[in-house]
Amino acid sequence: MTDPTTAPSGTERPDEGPNPGVAQISHGDVRELRGPLLVMGDVDDVGWDEFATVDFAGRERHGLVLEVDHDLVTLQVLEGTDAMAPGGVRVRFAGRPLRIPVGSGWLGRVCNGRGEPLDGGPPVTGDTTLPVSGWPLNPVYREPPQEPVLTGISVIDALTTLVRGQKLPIFSVPGLPHLTLATQIAAQATSGGTTFRVVFAAMGLTHADIAFVRDRLEERSAAGELVLLINAADDPVIERILTPRIALTIAENLAYTEGHDVLVIMSDMTSYAEAVREVSAARREIPARRGYPGYLYSDLASLYERCGRVRGQQGSVTIVPVLTMPAGDITHPVPDLTGYITEGQIVLSPEVAARGIYPPVDALSSLSRLMRSGAGAGRTREDHLDVAAQVLAALAHARQSAELAELVGAAALSETDRSYIAYRGLLEQGLLNQGHDDRRSLEDTLDRAWSALAALPRRELTMLSTEFLDRYLPSEPEAT
């Protein structure tokens, strides 16, 4: 057992070199090529999850060991096995799991899903290497998430505040601007007074989307605050299994060794899960729901649980995964299992988008379970939590009033119900709707919430103390 007192972070270990000589031997006994899998024979002294280099026809591909059975080894080839023929393939096993160099050399770089440069530069180097699968973090050394990460996006900052060390997914459906939102978060997010870094892992994105993300994040990249890992839609699918792991390994080092607050955005995790499904199908595993493997939960947890804060260390890793729910089905295995692991969700809704609101967040379905640790007096503003509760309660009432108005007509509603409908309009246009480049301060965001609340009779604002009402409530509702 590891002495917990000597390894508080659980993320740093001495750089373990491979078994000398092992990496120099290449094996040529290919028994089978099956989808992304390569089965080798006459191999010994190879371990599970070991990294391998596959040479064929003067080209180099990469693989990970999935199974070892006597002298048979099954590899998943990250770039796929297209164009490979059993005769000309040679495999070199590294004698250890895949490790990547870590450090600030990644900042400002744009790499593919395996961490190889796409920006024309040399490969990223570092004095230390770490295994991409990460080290299990001693639970005793975990610190609860605390302090906000401010995104400059009103609906998130005000109503579902992101907290340092939290994992908060964005649930969306195809066609909604989830990538625009994720990119805006990546471009704008900060945490008070500390150095902030962003690792953006893009999986299965089209080239148009990639161009958009690169343009929007250029400012942050030029400032040396961003690492961009890109697996395009036409890149090898299996690479996607590695992309979030590389992103998190880079992030852990930046956070726990270099002391930065790091935000990791992973978009789109449904594409990642599809890669897991593809490998599982090739291995002929028994499929569980919708063909995904039964271990999808633990696989996703092995990624999401790498966020957090560690006792005695300055930095933090905050994760925002983006998921598209096929056919908007929130019970689909990927959002369903993600929901079990993460601490809340930001839900995007086609109905909200249809009303011309960006970001189209369904505020009543969204929740940040750790908001209390990141908002309120001493963290954001004294009235923040109460205002958020009042805004949501009033929004729920407004939704009921609107439904009633559809039945009986707006003219038949009471004065109070009409004020709730007016409040919803003000809230949507004043607070929830925002420009793609618009970065709002928290003060501005909360003031906008108060302006919308001013449309309601004061007697309806039961969640706010008289002191707060006197201090913050505008005397006249502001037209927006």
Partner 1 sequence: MTGLPSGSDSSLAPLRDSMHAAARATAAEILDSAHTQAQALVDAAQLKAATILAAATADGEAAAQSESRMRSARVRRQAHEAVLTTRNALRLQLQGQVRESALALRTDERYPTLLDRLTERSRMLLGPDTTVTESPDGGVIAEAGSRRVDFSLPTLAAGTLDRMAPEVDGLWSR
Q: Tell me: does residue 475 bind partner 1 (CB under 8 A).
A: no
Residue 330 CB, nearest distance to partner 1 (Å)? 33
Between strands 50-56 and 226-232, the pairing is unpaired
Query: Using the 8-state DSSP alphabet, how is residue 119 labeled?
Result: S
Q: Interaction with partner 1 in 215-234: which residues (CB under 8 A)?
A: 215-216, 218-219, 221-222
Subset of 127-156 contacting partner 1 (CB under 8 A): 127
To partner 1, the closest distance from the beta carbon of 255 in angstroms equals 21
Q: Does 177 bind partner 1 (CB under 8 A)?
A: no
478 binds partner 1 (CB under 8 A): no
Of 121 and 174, which has the nearer Cβ to partner 1?
Answer: 121
Contact 40, 50 (CB under 8 A): no
Number of amino acids touching partner 1 (CB under 8 A):
32
CB of 98 to partner 1, least distance (A): 15
Q: Where are the alpha helices (DSSP H) in 115-238?
A: 154-159, 178-188, 207-216, 218-222
User: Distance (Å, rounded) from C-alpha 223 to C-alpha 212?
Assistant: 18
CB of 205 to partner 1, least distance (A): 17
At its nearest, how many Å lie between partner 1 and the CB of residue 53?
11
Q: Cβ atoms within 10 A of the Cβ of 57, count?
A: 9
SS3 120: coil
Q: How far apart are CA 239 and CA 76, in angstroms?
A: 10
* 3-state secondary structure at position 243: helix
Angle at 21 between CA 247 and CA 75, to 5 degrees: 50
In the complex, least distance from residue 411 CB atom to partner 1, rounded to whole angstroms: 19
Which residues in the 29-48 window bind partner 1 by CB under 8 A?
Answer: 29, 41-42
What is the smallest separation between the CB atom of 329 and partner 1, expressed in angstroms? 34
Task: Return d(Cα 224, Cα 218) in angstroms, integer.
Answer: 10
- The rounded distance, in Å, linking the Cα atoms of 261 and 198 is 8
Which of 117, 139, 144, 457 forms a contact with partner 1 (CB under 8 A)? 117
Q: Which of 343, 336, 334, 340 is nearest to 308 (CA)?
A: 343
Rounded CA separation 467/440 (Å): 25
According to CB under 8 A, which one of 47, 121, 287, 474 is a site residue for partner 1? 121
Residues making up the chain, counted from first to last: 480
The least CB distance from residue 368 to partner 1, in Å, is: 28
DSSP class of residue 194 equals S
In the region spanning residues 406 to 445, those forming contacts with partner 1, defined by CB under 8 A, are: 435-437
Cα(first)–Cα(last) distance of the chain, in Å? Answer: 62
- Is residue 126 a contact point for partner 1 (CB under 8 A)? yes
| d(C-alpha 190, C-alpha 149), whole Å | 6
Pick the piece of the chain touching partner 1 (CB under 8 A) from 20-28, 230-238, 402-410, 459-467: 20-28
Binding residue for partner 1, selected from 8, 12, 26, 399, defined by CB under 8 A: 26
User: Contact region for partner 1 (CB under 8 A) — 5-13, 18-26, 191-199, 358-366?
Assistant: 18-26
Q: Name the β-bridge partners of 110.
A: 228
- Interface contacts to partner 1, rule CB under 8 A: 21, 24-29, 41-42, 90, 101, 105, 108, 117, 119-123, 125-127, 214-216, 218-219, 221-222, 435-437
